[in-house]
Amino acid sequence: MPFGFGRRKDVAVAAPQPLPAADATTPRSVRFHGFTEDWRLDGAMALSGRLLDTLNHRDAIPITDVRWAPLDGSAELEPAPGIQSMDPYDLIVVLAGADTLVPRTDEERAAHRIHKITFDVALDAPPFRVIGTVRVHPGAVPESLLERGSQMFVAVTDPVLQVGDAVLDLGGAEAVLVNRFYLRDVTQVDKSTGLEHVALPGTSQGHDT
């Protein structure tokens, strides 16, 4: 099989379809859409809790009904029955939607926003460039994502995903999850242009969410 999992290959996929809300312990079926260095994958997985947490466990993820296609768009998705699981180490970008989150109360959402600072950034994880918003704890800077830590993947909301000059269709995904192990550069940017952001004296580069 040419895919080459275990050699840090890559895959691309479509966007998750909204499903009814579920609590943190109830398994539900969600679409899985992942990108590796050379490939895009589409499949189905049973998910309990958040997809971000599942990926950060670093365990192989069982996947069913897998289809794949070259990242360069040279062919359409076709069945890949030989692929029955995904190793998070092989994935560079994974799409995330409302169905991959755990429902929160208004109080929980408010507490989450109060304790995070947002930054608009460009993340370079070859062959991908991701432009969007990351949330970090007060006192931290987005460049710290380049450091190896316990969290393998970081969520980027309102994302734009590029390969070279091409912008990939994310099918309305609300966020992408980026493998920090593949990051080569993190730059604060003006999200509307994707150009590097230069802070004026006396101004802040982040704000509460």
What tokens appear for 109 in the block?
């959402």
Integer CA distances (angstroms), 172 to 27, 97, 116, 133, 135, in order = 23, 8, 24, 16, 20
**Angle, vertex CA 172, rays to CA 190 and CA 111, nearest 5:** 65
Q: Residue 22: what pLDDT? A: 42
Distance CA 83, CA 92 (A): 17
Integer CA distances (angstroms), 105 to 15, 40, 158, in order = 25, 34, 22
Helices and strands per DSSP (H, E), number in the chain = 2, 15
User: Domains, the chain, ranges and CATH?
Assistant: 28-100 (2.30.30), 106-197 (2.30.30.100)
Q: What is the pTM of this model?
A: 0.78
Q: Residue 133: what pLDDT? A: 95
| pLDDT by 10s per residue, the chain, length 209 | 445 544 444 434 444 444 344 455 678 899 999 999 999 999 999 998 899 999 999 999 999 999 999 998 899 999 999 999 999 999 999 999 888 876 555 565 565 555 779 999 999 999 999 999 999 888 889 999 999 878 999 999 999 999 999 999 998 899 999 999 999 999 999 877 767 765 543 334 443 33
Number of Cβ within 10 Å of residue 31's Cβ equals 21
Q: Residue 32: what pLDDT? A: 95
Distance CA 57, CA 49 (A): 12
